[in-house]
Amino acid sequence: MYVTNHLRGRSAVVARLSAICGAPQPSGPSASATRRMRAGAPAAGEPVPTSGSAGTQRPDSLMAASGRQAAGGVEEAAEEPRILEPGAAPFGNFPHYSRFHPPEQRLRLLPPELLRRLFPPSSSETRPILGLDVGCNSGDLSVALYKHFLSLRDGETCSDASRELHLLCCDIDPVLVERAEKECPFPDALTFITLDFMNQRTRKVLLNSFLSQFGRSVFDIGFCMSVTMWIHLNHGDHGLWEFLAHLSSLCRYLLVEPQPWKCYRAAARRLRKLGLHDFDHFRSLAIRGDMANQIVQILTQDHGMELVCCFGNTSWDRSLLLFRAKQTTETHPIPELLTEEGKERNRLRFWRQ
């Protein structure tokens, strides 16, 4: 049903996105995902993340093993022949992801004043901005986003304590999370947790526990950078749809960097080259093709969000799409400039002002 709805009206979204951007430019891992991980892991008998069960087994060793085995590399490896042959990283849990997809590529497209514009300080409101970074890997992008939005230079700490930004950063891979925690220069502002975002029960407990410290029920902004493909490959169309549903219900704004379809093919090819099982869902995915538009379609038609703007494309042809929830439990005035259709088209001029 969701697939049918989502495929219907696709052309309208293509047209809309083109107008705005100029050019459109498990249940946990199932048995075979587990086999894939085991094949990539030197140690046997390791726990597997499961979805929908309380106390999800932490995929520590599996993830760690996957990470250890990977010499480095990303899903684009096939498009980037100079990159070392990557190992099995079935969730995109590459140990040195930021070396291949550096944060700077994304940051240069994002106006540093973005959060200040979205959440202008008011005299009556000094509450911090709360962000959720899903699939944070080892935290390089999370830290870079934090510094970027607070305009901090290297070594500088936050001077404006009244407008704090707090990021909850989660990843399915505990080894990456541990590294992120160790290396984070802003431990008071960035919290790293191991979480399989597809595990409903754990997600609810951990996210609510964070939000409740601030007396809040939703995040101001969610970051979902280069994660959608891994959810899609491991959980199928329905998993992707659910993932986006959860994110949109949890965040007032959502910044998404979808992987294009060619990355799916590269990821599947890489597994085959390693002699591992294909992703369970790769061949049966009905949501395919122009993934940026597909995700726009799902979020806007099914999950009550609207596309605010597209910040352009990275050198890897990934667009950065900003969405806004039309309704959230916590309301906040939306800056007028961001909602006017005509000004959306002129977004670059607007952001450069």
Site for ligand SAM in 141-180 (CB under 6 A): 141, 170-173, 176
**Residue 100 near ligand SAM by CB under 6 A:** no
Query: Considering only residues 72, 73, 111, 135, which one is a binding residue for ligand SAM as defined by CB under 6 A?
Result: 135
**Residue 197 near ligand SAM by CB under 6 A:** yes
Stretch that binds ligand SAM, among 86-94, 146-154, 156-164, 319-327 (CB under 6 A): 86-94
**Residue 196 near ligand SAM by CB under 6 A:** yes
**Residue 236 near ligand SAM by CB under 6 A:** no
* Closest CB 135 distance from ligand SAM, rounded Å: 3
**Residue 230 near ligand SAM by CB under 6 A:** yes
Instruction: Name the residue nearer to ligand SAM (CB basis): 13 or 256.
Output: 256
**Residue 227 near ligand SAM by CB under 6 A:** yes
Instruction: Name the residue nearer to ligand SAM (CB basis): 16 or 92.
Output: 92
Q: Could you give the CA distance from residue 224 to residue 321 in angstroms, rounded to a whole number?
A: 10
**Residue 48 near ligand SAM by CB under 6 A:** no
Longest dimension (CA), the chain: 60
Query: Considering only residues 20, 150, 198, 292, which one is a binding residue for ligand SAM as defined by CB under 6 A?
Result: 198
Instruction: Look at residues 29, 70, 65, 68 and name the one whose alpha carbon lies nearest to residue 45.
Output: 65
Instruction: Give the Cβ contact number of residue 9 at 10 Å.
Output: 12
Query: Considering only residues 20, 225, 295, 338, which one is a binding residue for ligand SAM as defined by CB under 6 A?
Result: 225
Contacts of 94 (CB under 8 A, 6+ apart): 67, 70, 72, 73, 74, 86, 100, 137
Binding mask 7-26 for ligand SAM (x = CB under 6 A): --------------------
Contacts with ligand SAM by CB under 6 A lie at 91-93, 97-98, 101, 135-137, 141, 170-173, 176, 195-198, 225-227, 230-231
